[in-house]
Amino acid sequence: MLAKGVAIVDQADELGAGTIGNHCINSDSSGRTFVDCLLGPNETELTKLAEHDIARQLAAAGDGAVALRDAGRFLSLVGGVMRKIVSAHERGEVLLRHKAVSAQQTAAGWQVKVVDMTTGEERLLTASNVVTATGAHQPLERLAQETVGGFNLMERCGDRLIQSGDVFSQGGLDSIANRLAGKDEPRVVIIGGSTSAAAVAHALLHRLPQITFKAGGLTMLHRRPLRIFYLDRESALAEGYDEWTEDDVCPISGRVFRFAGFRLDSRELVMQARGIGGRPPEPRLHLHHLQDVDPAAMQMIDEADLVISALGYRPRGIPVLDGFGAPIRLLSETGPQQPLVDGQCRVLDASGQPIDGLFGIGLAAGFVPRGALGGELSFRGQANGLWLWQHDVGALIVDAVIRTDPASRQSQGSVDAVIGARQLATVSEGE
């Protein structure tokens, strides 16, 4: 890839860390999964990082969770080495403190406009391929459209409503503690059945020592059944967990609910709340399966001191323009559940057609693995697994970029532009 030419553009002061280290929760990827990217048959500057203190710390966690602040330190370390590797090559360049303003189609491929955030100077990069890894967010306009039980959440809850991202951010838990301070029986409702929802519940129960939740003080309202990840069929059955069929088993790895199942801290909490596998009960957490018409759920919301929306993220992209400079509407912009990419990580236009030479990866991209990548047949949703990104999904993009014939786009001398990532949420393992 370096021989073809690589430019990395990132708004941050350093490469790799993004904002993941600002989150006050643990990962849903194991420590082993983070350091897995350092493995290789030959010694390189990257493999040498395995001996660094923070890499050893994450590796020592094995299959357990790690604090995202430590994950951020590790990714910054990896990013620093990647920066040196790319910058040292005659066809490599790393542009930190630069913002990608737009990506426009050309006869040769792409032209990416970047702005130096310090000086305001603009620059154009020509590219055969563009890879966007720009993270995700929780736009307020999407929240304004969310309904539960036929009622609009914002209208129903007013200033009692916040989003899960606000909980995870720096100062988020302190803000919640202040809002619940002095209440003898604080009540919080979390809306959502995803990893984020369970992570919020875990944080409120275990990271707010000054707040005492009583039985049923925390409620998680979920639309889909709450699935549990198991390494194999035998492990699930040994703990009495039989809420699965062969369609829920990955045909490659044999894992039960490989993508749909809760892992690590979230897994243990949900299993406690459901009384699965002999875990000690967690009476403070009440689980409620939402119905289309659900008066009981609405009463819980109305009586709550705080309502937390954990309804997922949307991709944070850059404007994409056609050869005439007109905006290309993307499929992800047509609806709150529409993906950014297809099964080959190609960004899709509003009609669902892949845009040549434009790829996307990361949280909320909407990638759904199939076929050789494994995963249970029953899986619905998107895979946000760090292991997948570092292996099979990343390989999809690398292979596509390497296969690109520059001559076919008249792009002699072009540079492949990789738009730098700013990871904004917890990641969940997809082994």
Q: What single DSSP character describes residue 89?
A: S
- For residue 105, give Cα distances in angstroms to 129, 253, 324, 361: 10, 40, 8, 19
pLDDT, tens digit (0-9, with 9 covering 90-100), for 241-268 = 999 999 999 999 999 999 999 999 999 9
**pTM for this structure?**
0.86
Give the CATH fold of the 6-137+313-419 domain: FAD/NAD(P)-binding domain (3.50.50)
103 CB-near residues (< 8 Å, 6+ apart): 110, 111, 112, 113, 130, 132, 318, 319, 320, 321, 358, 417, 419
The confidence band for 4, taking pLDDT boundaries of 50, 70 and 90, is confident
Burial letters 56-71, b for 16+ CB under 10 A, else e: ebbbebeeebbbbebb
Flag whether pLDDT at 385 surpasses 80. Answer: no
Q: Picking from 96-110, 144-158, 321-335, which range would have the lowest pLDDT averaged per residue? A: 144-158
Residue 208's Cβ-side half-sphere holds a number of Cα atoms within 13 Å equal to 25
pLDDT, tens digit (0-9, with 9 covering 90-100), for 332-375 = 999 888 999 998 999 999 999 999 999 999 888 888 887 788 88
Burial letters 314-350, b for 16+ CB under 10 A, else e: bbbbbebbeeeeeebebbbeeeeebbbbbeebbbbbe
Residue 289's Cβ-side half-sphere holds a number of Cα atoms within 13 Å equal to 5
Amino acid at 151: F
What residue segments make up the domains of the chain, in order of their start? 6-137+313-419, 140-226+262-309
pLDDT, tens digit (0-9, with 9 covering 90-100), for 261-306 = 999 999 999 999 999 999 999 999 999 999 888 899 999 999 999 9
- In angstroms, the CA 176 to CA 181 distance is 8
203 close to 68: Cβ distance less than 8 angstroms: no
Long-range contact set of residues 297-300: C-beta below 8 Å, sequence gap at least 24:
297/148, 297/149, 297/221, 298/148, 298/149, 298/151, 298/156, 300/187, 300/189, 300/219, 300/221
- In angstroms, the CA 99 to CA 109 distance is 20
Q: Which of 400, 398, 334, 399 is nearest to 366 (CA)?
A: 334
Residue appearing with tokens 């990893």: 195
- In angstroms, the CA 21 to CA 79 distance is 14
Structure tokens at 348: 């899709």
Which one has a higher pLDDT value, 426 or 96?
96
- For residue 410, give Cα distances in angstroms to 358, 405, 414: 17, 9, 9
The confidence band for 411, taking pLDDT boundaries of 50, 70 and 90, is very low
Task: Say what the pLDDT of residue 161 is.
Answer: 96
Flag whether pLDDT at 405 surpasses 70. Answer: no
pLDDT, tens digit (0-9, with 9 covering 90-100), for 31-81 = 999 999 898 889 999 999 999 999 999 999 999 999 999 999 999 999 999
- In angstroms, the CA 298 to CA 304 distance is 10
Which one has a higher pLDDT value, 229 or 137?
229
Which one has a higher pLDDT value, 317 or 346?
346
193 close to 222: Cβ distance less than 8 angstroms: yes
- In angstroms, the CA 156 to CA 56 distance is 48
Flag whether pLDDT at 414 surpasses 60. Answer: no
Task: Say what the pLDDT of residue 386 is.
Answer: 81
Task: Say what the pLDDT of residue 391 is.
Answer: 84
Q: What single DSSP character describes residue 375?
A: -
